[in-house]
Amino acid sequence: MAAKFALNDGEAIVIIGSGAGGGTLANELAQKGVNKIVLLEAGRNFEEEEIENDEFGMFLKLSWLDKRQAVGAWSVARTGPNLPAWIVKGVGGSTMHWAGVSLRFKPYEFKIRTTYGAVPGANLLDWPISYEDLAPYYDRAVQKMGISGTPGGQPELPHNNLHKVASAAAKKFGYKDVIHPMAIQSVPSDGRPSCQQIGFCMQGCKVGAKWATNYTEIPKALATGRVDLRPQSMVLKIEHDREGKVSGVLYQDKDGKQHLQKARIVALAGNSIESPRLLLNSATSRFPQGLANSSGQVGRNYMGHTTAGLFSIYEKPINMHRGNAVAAIIADEARNDPSRGFFGGYYFEVLQMGLPFVAAFLRPPSGWGREMTTALEQYDRMAGVWVCGEQLPCEGNSITLHATEKDQYGLPIPVVSNSDHANDAMLRQHGRTQWQKMNEGFGSIRTVEQPTWSSTHNLGTNRMSEKPRDGVVNKWGQSHDIKNLFVSDGSQFTSSAAANPTLTIVSLAIRQAEYIVDQMKKGAI
Ligand SMILES: Cc1cc2nc3c(=O)[nH]c(=O)nc-3n(C[C@H](O)[C@H](O)[C@H](O)COP(=O)(O)OP(=O)(O)OC[C@H]3O[C@@H](n4cnc5c(N)ncnc54)[C@H](O)[C@@H]3O)c2cc1C
Ligand code: SF4
């Protein structure tokens, strides 16, 4: 299909990646009247009939399976050495796969250096913005995304059996804060239906009750006539002019042809592995360390959350698979209370998984055999949880370029290095112990654990900082070094917080769009 806007049009606003950050930014800019937005997406567009209620079928269809390498002390380096992250390659990005949990950061989580002090071995930094700065944008994101079960949003989704069991167990244990804020509609709105409780939220939600940019932001953006979506367009390099401003991007289409799209502004939203990788791959003689990298922080401080997947088995059926992917969230441990032995907090995200995923991921410490098969026999009696907690930023947890291995585009593959900080390990262990005690106190007879999955939350590799020497972008997501280059995805996070990231990514994109429009009007970019 011919490009809607000319390749040599230097007024184009180029957005790389169409997921939570990029898809939202495209729509926000288009709704504000910005014209000539070129949305480049490496993956293809999935039609509604391609969305199947099939865990492995959809994983294979949607996932970014280009070669990557996982290294470091985390277990994924052994269990998934070529799959450090579970990320989507397709129009809509990982919002196709996400479960919809929509939590705000807590105010202290924007200020971890001030709150926790200097933690040896970690690279803590305060965000250059506060909770109060982002609060109005959180409110707007709640409306935009049709979030249920949160103040100002839609009514909470119906409680399934897993919710009832987990909630009763939590209350018996003394927890009080059982919540369910989900970007899944409980009432029809915005031209989308309410949730049908089918349970395949992470397989693309066939009916569109779950917010995803391919169902919401992108169609709305295209309807303005101001956006040119180019699927199967993998950006290989960001180019700059003699003054050091970005001037365009080189990308490869589905037929293997390369094109140079000129640009007035480039916004990078390829998720926290591809975004720094592209900056590093765009090195030139003027920017030998890569673009936007005078601080040397591009690719550093990778955070994926501190997690554990546990399944508690009861004597009677629960049938956790009936209803949403995430049935409830227990929020009592999401606080900074160093008396527990670690900084930061975590959520219990009460989670169902279909039998195929439970069977594939469940490898008890003893390996295959009776321990595994007896657990699988009890699938209908399982209550699952994902402990999701803060991971401290550490410089050594990073995205770097492989010295020799190349991908199908001829680019060095990304190497994702990740290891627990001692704080992360203590937080994880606390989560495991509390979950087990809570369920045993409610009649659970056994708890089994899955090894850590490939990372679904990927954050922090182009972080925001007040001072250029500490990070990559300023409080607007704008490169400290190159003023017409923006980062619009989770890689701009300065801390991971305990909360799942997407609501914050969307709120930042809404805020960033306002800034870009303002700066364009002033002729500053
Ligand atoms: C199974 C699963 C469950 C999840 N559940 C939750 C949840 O409940 N709550 C929550 O908050 N978060 C959840 N997440 C995480 C959430 O999906 C991500 O945080 C969010 O989508 C990240 O947004 P992003 O804009 O940073 O990147 P993405 O949404 O991943 O978008 C990046 C896009 O950029 C494209 N791209 C990358 N490089 C290039 C390039 N060079 N050229 C062109 N295009 C490129 C990719 O193909 C992709 O489409 C989940 C994720 C998964 C996988
Ligand atoms: S349970 Fe609701 S959100 Fe999940 S796939 Fe079904 S309709 Fe979509």
Domain ranges of the chain: 13-521
DSSP state of 210: B
Query: pTM of the entire structure?
Result: 0.98
Ligand lying closest to the C-alpha of residue 199 = 2
For ligand 1, atom 50, the nearest C-alpha belongs to: 98
**Which ligand 1 atom is at minimum distance from the Cα of 24?**
25
> Are the beta carbons of 23 and 218 closer than 8 angstroms?
yes
Backbone φ, ψ for residue 175 (5° rounding): -75, 150
Q: Which amino acid is at 301?
A: N
Task: Establish whether residue 200 lines the binding site of ligand 2, counting it when its CB lies within 6 angstroms of any ligand atom.
Answer: yes
Residues 6+ apart with CB under 8 A from 75: 451, 452
Output the tens digit of pLDDT for each of the chain's 525 residues. Answer: 567 999 999 999 999 999 999 999 999 999 999 999 999 999 999 988 899 989 999 999 999 999 999 999 999 999 889 999 999 999 999 999 999 999 999 999 999 999 999 999 999 999 999 999 999 999 999 999 999 999 999 999 999 999 999 999 999 999 999 999 999 999 999 999 999 998 899 899 999 999 999 999 999 999 999 999 999 999 999 999 999 999 999 999 999 999 999 999 999 999 999 999 999 999 999 999 999 999 999 999 999 999 999 999 999 999 999 999 999 999 999 999 999 999 999 999 999 999 988 988 887 666 678 888 999 999 999 999 999 999 999 999 999 999 999 999 999 999 999 999 999 999 999 999 999 999 999 999 999 998 888 999 999 999 999 999 999 999 999 999 999 999 999 999 999 999 999 999 999 999 999 999 999 999 999
**Which ligand 1 atom is at minimum distance from the Cα of 269?**
25
Please tell me the predicted confidence (pLDDT) of residue 435: 98
DSSP state of 228: E
Beta strand residue intervals within 158-213, DSSP E: 178-179
**Which ligand 2 atom is at minimum distance from the Cα of 198?**
6
Separation of CA 184 and ligand 2 centre (Å): 7
For ligand 1, atom 6, the nearest C-alpha belongs to: 98
Segments in 131-204 forming alpha helices (H): 131-145, 161-173
Please tell me the predicted confidence (pLDDT) of residue 2: 64
- Sign of the dihedral defined by the CA atoms of residues 309, 313, 318, 319, in that order: positive
Taking the C-alpha atoms of residue 503 and residue 26, their distance in angstroms, rounded to an integer, is 16
CA proximity to 470, closest of 450, 434, 447, 495:
495
Task: Establish whether residue 58 lines the binding site of ligand 2, counting it when its CB lies within 6 angstroms of any ligand atom.
Answer: no
**Which ligand 2 atom is at minimum distance from the Cα of 325?**
4
Task: Establish whether residue 324 lines the binding site of ligand 2, counting it when its CB lies within 6 angstroms of any ligand atom.
Answer: yes
Separation of CA 210 and ligand 2 centre (Å): 6
Mutate to test the pocket of ligand 2, among 51, 205, 322, 352 (most ligand atoms within 8 A of CB): 205
Separation of CA 100 and ligand 2 centre (Å): 10
> Are the beta carbons of 301 and 394 closer than 8 angstroms?
yes
Strand pairing report for 382-389 and 346-351: antiparallel
Angle at 124 between CA 119 and CA 128, to 5 degrees: 150
Task: Establish whether residue 202 lines the binding site of ligand 2, counting it when its CB lies within 6 angstroms of any ligand atom.
Answer: no
Helix (H, G, I), strand (E, B) or coil at 311: strand
For ligand 2, atom 2, the nearest C-alpha belongs to: 195
Mutate to test the pocket of ligand 1, among 28, 64, 95, 98 (most ligand atoms within 8 A of CB): 98
CA proximity to 380, closest of 162, 54, 160:
162
Please tell me the predicted confidence (pLDDT) of residue 364: 67
Please tell me the predicted confidence (pLDDT) of residue 261: 98
Task: Establish whether residue 275 lines the binding site of ligand 1, counting it when its CB lies within 6 angstroms of any ligand atom.
Answer: no
Q: Tell me which CATH code domain 13-521 carries.
A: 3.50.50.60
Determine what percent of the chain falls in helix, strand and coil, rounding each to the nearest 5: 30, 20, 50
